[in-house]
Chains A and B, each alone.
Chain A
């Protein structure tokens, strides 16, 4: 039955992708019989098939959805936004179940009764769904009713029409990858053969060799083509995303997609998917204004996000453009100054375009940009890093009031790249051409002075020393220098006094010089991944075989920058500061949301705990048994005014939304904390002084140089729901024994935060203030089901702790989950190497709970 299940999963996943697109289309054109037919057919097929496979949960949900669709098809129900939403919810639930099915081979546990009841209510007489509130429908209707005739045609990518097109077969990706490798090797062998033949000057050989050469090139091109996929595949989910965002944000958004058929390597496609989604989400959430604002500015009410893709040379250009408010140059300038990213003088010398580029710096988000937190924690710096990781680049242009356009340029394929071949210590290496800025020959300065006085006019590039660290003075800029020989320990550097050959490379915002012995040619190389045994050497990104058959390593400029202490981190424009100062990123930093409530002094809450920030209009706040509530995403959300009461004079209130939605545990609640003003977002090394005894305040911390109250979110949640932390546990009373968890965490603040959260999720929590006390517990014979440990701790850190746990004793086989503010892949790899079962980012309570559930084999979820 296994291969049947695999077939079912493939088939259903494809259906679901089409289903999303079709449902969004249906909302625009409720009478489109063809679209309806398509939707009905997909749900019908899923339902019909899962009956055979014995998947009762899936069958019931699909059945309920099908009932609604049958009414739509028969014309006895109209596809309003609410009806479509309910079917989308059903589709989402099907996706969840299918995901669980594909992960574990069995249907995950869960309660679908409310969903099925809601669907049944719609199917029977089209009664109002609980979620359907008249006020809400009224604001949504115009979006749904507005006909945008051009849209469906554009969104329909060729991939969405699998039938009727040219015949296709399915081939495993590995087979294609193998073919690609073989074709590449054939090319190399041909090159060797051609080199040999040139020496022979044998005419009889020349003709068939010429033919072999041609065929080989054609074959390679053909194999490359098989790996190409239309970019539309990465865009499939966007119409649905934009539709949901528009509904949630009360905006009108039109998504235009041009060039969905543009093809690129599937590997690149996979890597570009998330950054693109993030940018579209950003545009919808932050860039586009509300219909009212747009009207006031004389723009059409419906905002527009345009995605386009096209080929230029060996690259694909992808543009994400919006016609929103544009980026606030002044705010960005102020923020850059406040953050110390540039001095006032430096900023004065920059044009707007240069200033805008600050948004790509790590941790750079203006308060305006997070006012409706969408891609929380993932900023444009991550997008930029991801794009650069695949050899691409990203740029932006923005006009105030007219909108912003991001332009991403990525290579068509990662399999073949242009590289500069260099030599150091007798070995040859390839440096990806994309990273190379220029080649210079630099004389060595005899002076070792630390002064920055300019050298003689004639010498353009000189190597100088600042406190014994060599730096390159290039056209009045000082660049950090790395010697490839020294880095790779290929013997002593050549005569330091002689002129040196320096390859200038650009890594993110940083520029550095790499000293090499010799530079050869630029070659098209076939990139092969690094063997697993070398994967920890981050200075190499792969290897390749040259035309003469020799195998050489490809250098990773990112890795070299890191190895020289530059990090991927922030670098000041002058370059020297970065060379001198080690990467700062190692300190544990927390992103805090600063706001004001009931007083002028700022208050702070960890941004990771805030689900969204909303501005809720006065008229949307109602009273329910004396307490303020609002309709939020289809449910009633209690509002708690932090200042004690909601000021009736204000037209709109900023609200921090805390949510506790966990389908696996059947929880679905949220609460809004009403504040006076959102001030900023700050990244700080958080040291909270506990105490004060004031209710609702956890303690005081220095944030942005000011003493700031850090609020106790648990306290406010309990005001909204007296049972916020109790009910989940209570519901499980009588169920099996509560699983026990040991929490090892040196910070009082985090213990205060996490212990109640874990207790609420049904765990018996024991806290230890460090690794030593925890190990004492072990030696005293205490036993737990799982351990959650901080990484950054004084005395003994989490890595050392987990090694001790794994080394001996009764805990050696327990699941141990790491909690850390550092989530660089290297850190995660180090954590796993040390023996952690899983690695979770601090403050991501949901991720921690999910990880615990997974480690404990879902016992907790099952007991709910």
Chain B
């Protein structure tokens, strides 16, 4: 962690090990340092330990879901930092507005590929 510049650290929050692993591959291939968390509560702990440069956030998770995590994160660390890219599926489009309202900067549809993911991260200022 300390070796990689913090500006390139991305926290992947998803309850599926498969999705976390996939995101890690896509991101590490592009020089990102990846941290994983399997639910909102652990993600919040991770942010308290070391603030990542951005968060890739799933919605449906046990213990603390994406929305609750987002609320807690913004309350504790202010409105814009770190940028949050919110993952959704076409069944959950209704959640996008809710996510943006609570401080997500971008959303991304599952399944995504490396190009789309990097594009979204570029949108939130991580080239």
Residue from the list B19, B39, B60, B91 in contact with A67, Cβ < 8 A? B91
Query: Does B79 touch A at the CB level, under 8 Å?
Result: no
Cα separation A82 to B63 with both chains bound (whole Å): 30
Structural contact, B60 and A11, CB atoms closer than 8 A: no
Query: Does A17 touch B at the CB level, under 8 Å?
Result: no
Query: Does A49 touch B at the CB level, under 8 Å?
Result: yes
Q: Which of the 9-residue segments B10-18, B28-36, B47-55, B118-126 touches chain A?
A: B10-18
B contact residues around A53 at 8 Å (CB): 18
Chain B: minimal CB distance from A92 (Å): 21
Within 8 A of B (CB), among A39-77: 40-41, 44-45, 47-49, 51-53, 63, 66-67, 70
Identify the closest chain A residue to B63 (Cβ).
A163
Structural contact, B89 and A40, CB atoms closer than 8 A: no
Structural contact, A11 and B39, CB atoms closer than 8 A: no
Structural contact, B61 and A41, CB atoms closer than 8 A: yes
Structural contact, A47 and B89, CB atoms closer than 8 A: yes
Structural contact, B91 and A163, CB atoms closer than 8 A: no
Chain B: minimal CB distance from A63 (Å): 7
Query: Does B71 touch A at the CB level, under 8 Å?
Result: no
Q: Could you mark each residue 22-54 of chain A with 1 if its beta carbon is under 8 Å from any beta carbon of chain B, else 0?
A: 000000000000000110110011011101110
Cα separation A11 to B22 with both chains bound (whole Å): 14
Structural contact, B21 and A164, CB atoms closer than 8 A: no
Query: Does B111 touch A at the CB level, under 8 Å?
Result: yes
- If the complex has contacts A40-B60, A48-B111, A52-B110, are A7 and B21 also in contact, measured as CB distance less than 8 A? yes
Identify the closest chain B residue to A41 (Cβ).
B60
Structural contact, B111 and A45, CB atoms closer than 8 A: no
A contact residues around B63 at 8 Å (CB): 163-164
Structural contact, B62 and A11, CB atoms closer than 8 A: no
B contact residues around A40 at 8 Å (CB): 60
A contact residues around B89 at 8 Å (CB): 44, 47-48, 51
Chain A: minimal CB distance from B91 (Å): 5
Cα separation A677 to B21 with both chains bound (whole Å): 61
Cα separation A178 to B26 with both chains bound (whole Å): 36
Cα separation A41 to B38 with both chains bound (whole Å): 13
Cα separation A67 to B90 with both chains bound (whole Å): 10
Structural contact, B17 and A11, CB atoms closer than 8 A: yes
Chain B: minimal CB distance from A43 (Å): 9
Cα separation A11 to B16 with both chains bound (whole Å): 7
Structural contact, B111 and A7, CB atoms closer than 8 A: no
Within 8 A of A (CB), among B54-111: 58, 60-63, 87, 89, 91-92, 110-111
- If the complex has contacts A45-B60, A63-B91, A67-B91, are A8 and B110 also in contact, measured as CB distance less than 8 A? no
Residue from the list A4, A8, A44, A164 in contact with B60, Cβ < 8 A? A44
Structural contact, A52 and B91, CB atoms closer than 8 A: no
B contact residues around A164 at 8 Å (CB): 63
A contact residues around B19 at 8 Å (CB): 45, 48-49, 52
Structural contact, B110 and A51, CB atoms closer than 8 A: yes
B contact residues around A52 at 8 Å (CB): 18-19, 22, 110-111
Structural contact, A8 and B91, CB atoms closer than 8 A: no
A contact residues around B16 at 8 Å (CB): 11, 45, 48-49
B contact residues around A37 at 8 Å (CB): 60
B contact residues around A11 at 8 Å (CB): 16-18
Identify the closest chain B residue to A15 (Cβ).
B16
B contact residues around A41 at 8 Å (CB): 15, 60-62
A contact residues around B62 at 8 Å (CB): 38, 41, 163
Cα separation A165 to B85 with both chains bound (whole Å): 29
B contact residues around A67 at 8 Å (CB): 91
Cα separation A256 to B112 with both chains bound (whole Å): 45
Cα separation A678 to B22 with both chains bound (whole Å): 59
Chain A: minimal CB distance from B65 (Å): 8
Structural contact, A4 and B91, CB atoms closer than 8 A: no
Structural contact, B91 and A45, CB atoms closer than 8 A: no
- If the complex has contacts A41-B61, A52-B111, A163-B63, are A7 and B18 also in contact, measured as CB distance less than 8 A? yes
B contact residues around A163 at 8 Å (CB): 38-39, 62-63
Cα separation A215 to B61 with both chains bound (whole Å): 42
Structural contact, B18 and A8, CB atoms closer than 8 A: yes
Chain B: minimal CB distance from A65 (Å): 10
Cα separation A217 to B23 with both chains bound (whole Å): 45
- Of A47, A52, A70, chain B has the most CB atoms within 10 Å of the CB of A52
B contact residues around A7 at 8 Å (CB): 17-18, 21
Cα separation A37 to B15 with both chains bound (whole Å): 14
Cα separation A51 to B112 with both chains bound (whole Å): 9
Cα separation A11 to B120 with both chains bound (whole Å): 27
Cα separation A8 to B16 with both chains bound (whole Å): 8
Cα separation A70 to B39 with both chains bound (whole Å): 21
Residue from the list B22, B38, B61 in contact with A4, Cβ < 8 A? B22
A contact residues around B111 at 8 Å (CB): 48, 51-52
Q: Could you mark each residue 3-16 of chain A with 1 if its beta carbon is under 8 Å from any beta carbon of chain B, else 0?
A: 01001100100000
Cα separation A66 to B22 with both chains bound (whole Å): 23
B contact residues around A4 at 8 Å (CB): 18, 21-22
Cα separation A8 to B18 with both chains bound (whole Å): 6
Chain B: minimal CB distance from A58 (Å): 12
Structural contact, A45 and B22, CB atoms closer than 8 A: no
A contact residues around B58 at 8 Å (CB): 48
Structural contact, B18 and A44, CB atoms closer than 8 A: no
Cα separation A37 to B87 with both chains bound (whole Å): 18
Structural contact, B17 and A66, CB atoms closer than 8 A: no
A contact residues around B61 at 8 Å (CB): 41
Cα separation A4 to B15 with both chains bound (whole Å): 15
Cα separation A66 to B21 with both chains bound (whole Å): 24
Identify the closest chain A residue to B58 (Cβ).
A48
B contact residues around A44 at 8 Å (CB): 60, 89, 91-92
Cα separation A615 to B19 with both chains bound (whole Å): 50
Structural contact, B15 and A45, CB atoms closer than 8 A: yes
Identify the closest chain B residue to A47 (Cβ).
B89
A contact residues around B92 at 8 Å (CB): 44
Cα separation A4 to B24 with both chains bound (whole Å): 12
Identify the closest chain B residue to A48 (Cβ).
B110
A contact residues around B87 at 8 Å (CB): 48
Chain B: minimal CB distance from A9 (Å): 10
Identify the closest chain A residue to B91 (Cβ).
A66
Chain B: minimal CB distance from A85 (Å): 21
A contact residues around B91 at 8 Å (CB): 44, 47, 63, 66-67, 70
Cα separation A8 to B19 with both chains bound (whole Å): 9
Chain A: minimal CB distance from B93 (Å): 11
Cα separation A594 to B35 with both chains bound (whole Å): 67
Chain A: minimal CB distance from B46 (Å): 15
Chain B: minimal CB distance from A387 (Å): 37
Chain B: minimal CB distance from A36 (Å): 12
Cα separation A48 to B61 with both chains bound (whole Å): 12
Identify the closest chain B residue to A5 (Cβ).
B18
Cα separation A49 to B16 with both chains bound (whole Å): 8
Cα separation A11 to B63 with both chains bound (whole Å): 17
A contact residues around B15 at 8 Å (CB): 41, 45
B contact residues around A48 at 8 Å (CB): 16, 19, 58, 87, 89, 110-111
Chain B: minimal CB distance from A754 (Å): 44
Identify the closest chain A residue to B38 (Cβ).
A163
B contact residues around A45 at 8 Å (CB): 15-16, 19, 60
Cα separation A340 to B15 with both chains bound (whole Å): 61
Q: Which 8 A-B pairs have the closest CB atoms?
A: A51-B111, A41-B60, A52-B111, A48-B110, A8-B18, A44-B60, A49-B18, A45-B16
In the assembled complex, 22 residue pairs joining A and B whose CB atoms fall closer than 8 Å, in A order, are A4-B18, A7-B21, A8-B18, A37-B60, A38-B62, A41-B15, A41-B60, A41-B61, A41-B62, A44-B60, A44-B92, A47-B89, A48-B19, A48-B111, A49-B16, A49-B18, A52-B18, A53-B18, A67-B91, A70-B91, A163-B38, A163-B39
Which A positions have Cβ atoms within 8 angstroms of B? 4, 7-8, 11, 37-38, 40-41, 44-45, 47-49, 51-53, 63, 66-67, 70, 163-164
Known: A38-B62, A47-B89, A163-B63. 17 other contacts (CB 8 A): A4-B18, A7-B17, A7-B18, A7-B21, A11-B18, A44-B60, A44-B92, A45-B19, A48-B16, A48-B58, A48-B110, A48-B111, A51-B110, A52-B18, A52-B19, A163-B62, A164-B63
